[in-house]
Amino acid sequence: MRIEDYALIGDMQSAALVGRNGSIDWLCLPKFDSPACFAALLGDKHHGQWWLGPAGSRRPDATRRRYKGDSLVLESEWDTPDGTVRVTDFMPTRHVNPDLVRIVEGVSGTVEMATEIRVRFDYGRIVPWVRRTDGLLQAVGGPDSVWLHSPVPLQGGDYAHKARFRVAEGERLAFVFTWHPSHEARPVEIDPFEQLAQTEQLWQEWLGQCAYQGPWREAVVRSLITLKALTYAPTGGIVAAPTTSLPEDLGGVRNWDYRYCWLRDATMTLEALIGAGYLEEARSWRAWLLRAIAGRAQDLQIMYSVTGERRLTELELSWLPGYEASRPVRIGNDAVTQLQLDVYGEVMNSLYLSRVSGMEPDDRAWTIQRELIGYVEAHWDEPDEGLWEVRGPRRHFTHSKVMCWVALDRAVRQIEEFGRTGPVERWRELRDRIHAEVCHKAFDTARGTFTQSYGSAELDASLLMIPMVGFLPPEDPRVVGTVEAIQRELMADGFVLRYPVEEDNDVDGLPGGEGAFLACSFWMAEALAMIGRREEAVELFERLLALRNDVGLLAEEYDPRYGRMVGNFPQAFSHVPLIHTARALSRSRPPYPAGGHPGGSGEAPQGPEEA
Ligand SMILES: OC[C@H]1O[C@H](O[C@H]2O[C@H](CO)[C@@H](O)[C@H](O)[C@H]2O)[C@H](O)[C@@H](O)[C@@H]1O
């Protein structure tokens, strides 16, 4: 199944991927980063899968599917010669244990249905013991146990449980799958129909707070729902994606675990949520951040688990063959130990924006920000791995330096605008020094463009963020020159690459190519809008929207060679800039924080042309 054939359901603690043919191929319980109990996504049905659909020798795709209104409740419908049947899949809000509910409903006629379930704990490695108790099926293996309430009798065999049954018009049959720690007593059963009503209501209430009223609202709302689904409700942490090892290069080695909270991705997600009126998420993330990074500034990591754990050691799961043979399958992520200086700017920016949006001050937050700035003061001039987390040699990445400027700029603003205390003169002086150095060392005057790193001739899509973060005004010729150079040199098949990936180029230290990283194309659309080229911006934005799958979801990348989505799915880093670009094009996103460009050209800015 292609990556875009999946839909997402979740309960804000974990999430499952449901295939177009009714197969649940990915589910980690109890948390996003727990071992999967269905891992067919990275192997086959023997690594754990739950299929449910019309009976027959093949497993046909649903005739149509959609989310029920603005929710995460998925409805898949099959038209068959004998009638139409609907399967509603959702994960109710967590009470004590995680539940997955599948309701089969006869829409017309009488349809013969079938189901086949294989539970495999520990990412497909543990075949559990299965027994029947009081009409329920219980599977146990190590620390994990699941209970399945099935409305039809299931037959065991071939390490699976199967059933064939009929559903007539108006009939509703509910399957409930509940996880719990194997040492605990049997979980309390939920009422699936009551839970369905409650889950729908929850989403309705959440969307009721949405402040976005601009164009492309349907795409923006689906992206907001997806971002909310990637939020770990108990702590406020946000995962970059709910999957691991969906390849950036089909059949290749660029397979990473995204089930963690990157400070970069999370702060960008928050900016999108805050912009749409969701301050509660910002409050809860700030509390998560203060707990996660508590301690010495030099110990700050670029990512943590959603509960704040720091050790995310990378491991390869040798028994999983990988998505379309893309090996290795990895869990954990070695990027955790990298130096990525941009995260200081991202954290400072998001805490500043939270204040601008009306969030109450927190003295501990300011103490930590002062510590972070102390670290930036001491280390901003070192080479790092940058936002792309390259596994090649460290460099003086331009984007990292620009974000160090952002860190200082937002610290200065907190003093100027919110009466915080700190060595403002020293910080202003360093902010301006970094600005001058970047303009001197990272700008190629002959080509009229900023470059990826000091002294390099390469371009990099992250340079498109220069006007967005307020480093230079959009009409500055250096910004326009950079946008145009990236258009000329980094675009392939209508989309923007992160940086050139060629065999003789060791930027990221990895073999193989990759698709177009979708965030970069959204940044291009936003940058075009900012420099007044709205028509081109809209054209590119709509080309990107057309890549979304039938239920509005985007992976990390799109590979024009195959016309397919690649990389982890769905990816916050793709949905965030979708929201930002829609806001920029509808003029509801301020181009940079109020107060001008302290380190800018000094010339009076000319506003971008009105459309
Ligand atoms: O492709 C190389 C790198 O890919 C991952 O990083 C990317 O995803 C992160 C999470 O969305 C994002 O913050 C980062 O900017 C992206 O480059 C992976 O985690 C890295 O280990 C890998 O080197």
**What separation, in Å, do the N-terminal and C-terminal C-alpha atoms of the chain show?**
42
pLDDT at res. 57: 81
Contact between residue 531 and residue 480 where contact means Cβ atoms under 8 Å apart: yes
pLDDT at res. 599: 41
Q: Is residue 592 part of a domain?
A: no
Q: Which of 167, 187, 205 is the endpoint of a domain? A: 205
User: Do 268 and 124 share a domain, yes or no?
Assistant: no
Tens-place pLDDT, residues 495-516: 999 998 765 556 677 777 788 9
The residue contributing the CA closest to ligand 1 atom 17 is: 388
User: Do 167 and 220 share a domain, yes or no?
Assistant: no
User: Do 200 and 297 share a domain, yes or no?
Assistant: no
Ligand 1 atom closest to Cα of 568? 11
Distance 468 CA to ligand 1 centre (A): 21
Partners of 257 in the β-ladder? 244
Q: Is residue 84 part of a domain?
A: yes
Q: Is residue 498 part of a domain?
A: yes
Distance 239 CA to ligand 1 centre (A): 12
User: Do 198 and 321 share a domain, yes or no?
Assistant: no
CATH of residue 424 = 1.50.10.10
Distance 13 CA to ligand 1 centre (A): 22
Pocket of ligand 1 (CB under 6 A): 240, 248, 254, 256, 258, 262, 264-265, 333, 335, 387-389, 391, 508, 573
Strands (E), 436-525: 443-444, 449-450, 491-492, 495-496, 516-517
Between the alpha carbon of residue 386 and those of residues 58, 223, 329, 390, 557, the distances in Å are: 47, 26, 24, 7, 19
Q: Is residue 602 part of a domain?
A: no
Low-confidence spans in the chain with pLDDT less than 70: 502-507, 588-611
Q: Is residue 484 part of a domain?
A: yes
The residue contributing the CA closest to ligand 1 atom 16 is: 388
Number of domains in the chain: 2
Ligand 1 atom closest to Cα of 498? 17
Distance 258 CA to ligand 1 centre (A): 8
Ligand 1 atom closest to Cα of 240? 11
User: Do 156 and 231 share a domain, yes or no?
Assistant: no
Ligand 1 atom closest to Cα of 514? 1
User: Do 193 and 230 share a domain, yes or no?
Assistant: no
Can you tell me the distance from the alpha carbon of 431 to that of 342, in angstroms, rounded to the nearest whole number?
Answer: 14
Ligand 1 atom closest to Cα of 248? 1
Q: Is residue 161 part of a domain?
A: yes
Distance 33 CA to ligand 1 centre (A): 16
Ligand 1 atom closest to Cα of 258? 10
pLDDT at res. 602: 32
pLDDT at res. 504: 52
pLDDT at res. 391: 87
User: Do 181 and 314 share a domain, yes or no?
Assistant: no
- Token digits for 359? 């969030």
Q: Is residue 578 part of a domain?
A: yes
pLDDT at res. 297: 87
CATH of residue 14 = 2.70.98.40
Q: Indicate left, alpha or beta for 13 from its phi (over 0: left) and psi (-120 to 50: alpha).
A: alpha
Q: Which of 185, 205, 225 is the endpoint of a domain? A: 205
Ligand 1 atom closest to Cα of 556? 11
User: Do 146 and 270 share a domain, yes or no?
Assistant: no
The residue contributing the CA closest to ligand 1 atom 21 is: 335
User: Do 213 and 198 share a domain, yes or no?
Assistant: no
Ligand 1 atom closest to Cα of 302? 13
User: Do 201 and 216 share a domain, yes or no?
Assistant: no
Distance 547 CA to ligand 1 centre (A): 21
Which of 256, 333, 340, 505 for a ligand 1 pocket mutation test, highest count of atoms within 8 Å of Cβ?
A: 256
The residue contributing the CA closest to ligand 1 atom 3 is: 389
pLDDT at res. 323: 98
User: Do 112 and 215 share a domain, yes or no?
Assistant: no
Distance 388 CA to ligand 1 centre (A): 6
Q: Which of 171, 186, 205 is the endpoint of a domain? A: 205
User: Do 341 and 457 share a domain, yes or no?
Assistant: yes
Distance 185 CA to ligand 1 centre (A): 40
Range of the domain at 176: 3-205
Please tell me whether residue 58 adopts helix, strand or coil conformation: coil
Q: Is the ipTM above a cut-off of 0.85?
A: yes
Q: Is residue 605 part of a domain?
A: no
